[in-house]
Structure 1
Amino acid sequence: MIYIILLILFLGFELVYFKIADHFNIIDKPNSRSSHTSITLRGGGIIFPAAILAACLLGHVSWMVTFAVVLVAIVSFIDDIKPLSQLPRFISHTIAIILIFYDLGLFMQAIWILPVIYFLMIGWVNVFNFMDGINGITVLYSFTAILSFAFLDINKDSLPLLIIMALSCGVFGIFNVRKKAKTFAGDVGSISMAMFLGFFMVKTILATGQIGYLLFLSIYGIDAGITIFARIKKKENIFEPHRSHLYQYLANELGYSHIKVSVLYAGIQLLFNILILFLQKAGELSLPIILSFLAFQILTYLWIRIRVIQKINSAKIS
């Protein structure tokens, strides 16, 4: 019953936000780097930190994790309205990660672990934000990750939190998983969700000792990582907007619908995650298997990316 009430409340919250965003002109205007062509309400992803707050009030997540997610959401929301410099964003991310470290007891671990996880978390938050470029991709990918975490026995106690976050994804998806989206997540949505998923990933790995669960987020990591490398090689500013991710090539240059591309990304990740869960249950998710799996994903991605770029270049020549 509580989940039905939350679903209704989340829907009402989102609709009220749309009125506010429309009144204050919180919109996303298309430009040459955009994958959309019409003015759209920005910041609908505010539902994600709202869901974390609701979960905290119900006792399903600590105040430290809640504050971490809400903090980056507030700074990101300000950035959505009026662009900020890198410094306030960096400071908020750092404070949020420190709070998560405290919540997970990481300061009791070996000191060398802290900078490693810190840079992985910072990298992940930026990767997730970079990948938020077409209708549906952020919410469908987030739902896939949440669903995958929920299937692990170790996360049984966190199931209410995961269900609440899944409900927020469902509500946001109603307005975003469309041919013409009513709203975009904005940084407030993508960064707060990234911080939550990063927290849950570290939590799961610490509880299980299984680093292979990093593969739950491998599709995003590979696309963003290789794209960043390609841009650095071209001496481009990786912090400037661009359209050179594989999903952007598919949606923009090749003309595939946003929803098809988003479903493709989430669907492939879900299939990989099912395989990971099966291998772990069978006791076969060893380091050599993990590395082989990752190598297969990278090589497959590179092959597809090269073929897609060749097809785009051929079309331009003809």
Structure 2
Amino acid sequence: MVYIFIFLLFLVIELIYFKIADKYNIIDKPNSRSSHTSITLRGGGIIFPIAISIAFFLGYVSWAITLAVVLVAIISFIDDIKPLSQLPRFVSHVIAVGLIFYQLNLFSESIWLLPIVFVLVIGWVNAFNFMDGINGITVLYALTAIVSFSFLPINEASLPLLITMGLSCFAFGLFNVRKKAKTFAGDVGSISMALFLGYFMIKSIIDSGQLGYILFFSVYGIDAIITIINRLLKKENIFQPHRSHLYQYLANEMGYSHVLVAFVYAGFQLALNGFVIYMDTKGYLTFFFISGFLVLLTFIYLLVRKFVTRKMVLRVL
């Protein structure tokens, strides 16, 4: 019963925010790098930091993780309204990651491990932030990760938190997973959700001792890394908005439905996560399996990307 009330509360909060965003002109205007063609309310993902704040008051999550998510959300929301320089955003990310390290007691680990984990988390947060490009993909991918984390026995005590965050995804998704989205997550939503998911990834790996759970992020992770490499080879600024991800090619240049592409990405990742969990229960999720599987996924991705780019060239000709 409490979860029904929470979900309805999230819906009400979203509707109130839409009134505020409309009044103060918090919108996304399409440009040459956009995947959308009409003005859309920005920042609907504000429900994610609000959800974790509610979870904190209900006793579902620690103050450190709540503060980390809310901190990056506040800075990101300001950036959504009036673009900030890199410095305040980077500082907020550093503090947030430090709070995650504190929560997971990582400062007591080997000193060489900390910069590696730091770079991975910062990289994940920024890569996930760029995902908010087509309708539905951010929230469906986030929901896929939350559902997958919920199935791990090590996260049983965290189920109330995961359910609460999942409900916030459903509330936001009602207005985003559409042919014509009413709202986008904005930096406030994508960055705060990325940080939350990054925390749960590290937590799950530490608590289980199983590195294989990193495959929970592999579909978009491979797309992001290959896209960054391609842009670097083209000497493009990787920090600038773009339309170079495979999912953007599919939705924009190939003309497939945004929602369909988002469901394909999330669905493939969910099926993959189910397979990962199954392999772990059988004891097959070894380092060699993980490495080989990542190579296989990368090979499949490159084949698909090459096929799609060829089709794009033929359409132009």
Q: Specify the TM-score bucket, using the shorter chain as the normaliser.
A: over 0.9
How far 1:173 moved relative to its partner?
0.3
1:84 is paired with a residue of what secondary structure?
coil
How far 1:109 moved relative to its partner?
1.0
Look up the match of 1:15: 15
Look up the match of 1:203: 203
Look up the match of 1:102: 102
Can you list the C-alpha shifts for 1:127-158, whole angstroms capped at 9, x where unaligned? 10112100000000000000000000000000
2:240 is paired with a residue of what secondary structure?
coil
Can you list the C-alpha shifts for 1:264-312, whole angstroms capped at 9, x where unaligned? 0000000110100000001110011101110111000000001100110
1:242 is paired with a residue of what secondary structure?
coil
How far 1:252 moved relative to its partner?
0.3
Distance 1:119 1:98 in 2: 12
Within 5 A, what are the aligned runs for 1:37-186?
Answer: 37-186=37-186
The letter of the residue matching 1:37 is T
1:255 is paired with a residue of what secondary structure?
coil
Distance 2:94 2:281 in 1: 35
The letter of the residue matching 2:248 is Q
How far 1:180 moved relative to its partner?
0.3
How far 1:220 moved relative to its partner?
1.1
How far 1:15 moved relative to its partner?
0.4
How far 1:260 moved relative to its partner?
0.3
Distance 2:114 2:5 in 1: 39
The letter of the residue matching 1:172 is F
Distance 2:8 2:244 in 1: 38
Q: Which structure 1 segments of 5+ residues have no match?
A: none
How far 1:8 moved relative to its partner?
1.0
Distance 1:159 1:242 in 2: 36
Look up the match of 2:6: 6
Distance 1:32 1:218 in 2: 29
Distance 2:154 2:288 in 1: 23
The letter of the residue matching 1:294 is L
2:195 is paired with a residue of what secondary structure?
helix
How far 1:79 moved relative to its partner?
0.5
How far 1:85 moved relative to its partner?
1.0
Can you list the C-alpha shifts for 1:85-124, whole angstroms capped at 9, x where unaligned? 1111100000000011001100111111111110000000
Distance 1:68 1:84 in 2: 19
1:299 is paired with a residue of what secondary structure?
helix
Distance 2:312 2:284 in 1: 40
Look up the match of 2:299: 299
- How many residues are matched? 317
The letter of the residue matching 1:262 is A
Q: Cα RMSD over matched residues?
A: 0.5
Distance 2:40 2:159 in 1: 33
Distance 1:130 1:37 in 2: 18
Distance 2:191 2:207 in 1: 24
- Name the TM-score, length of structure 1 as normaliser: 0.99
Distance 1:146 1:27 in 2: 28
The letter of the residue matching 1:55 is A
Can you list the C-alpha shifts for 1:13-38, whole angstroms capped at 9, x where unaligned? 00000000000000000001000000
The letter of the residue matching 2:272 is F
Distance 2:67 2:247 in 1: 32
The letter of the residue matching 1:143 is L
The letter of the residue matching 2:251 is A
Distance 2:25 2:31 in 1: 17
1:187 is aligned to 2:171? no
Distance 1:54 1:282 in 2: 37
2:41 is paired with a residue of what secondary structure?
strand
Distance 1:170 1:241 in 2: 27
Instruction: Tell me whether 24-33 or 104-113 shows the greater mean CA deviation.
Output: 104-113
1:235 is aligned to 2:257? no
The letter of the residue matching 2:290 is I
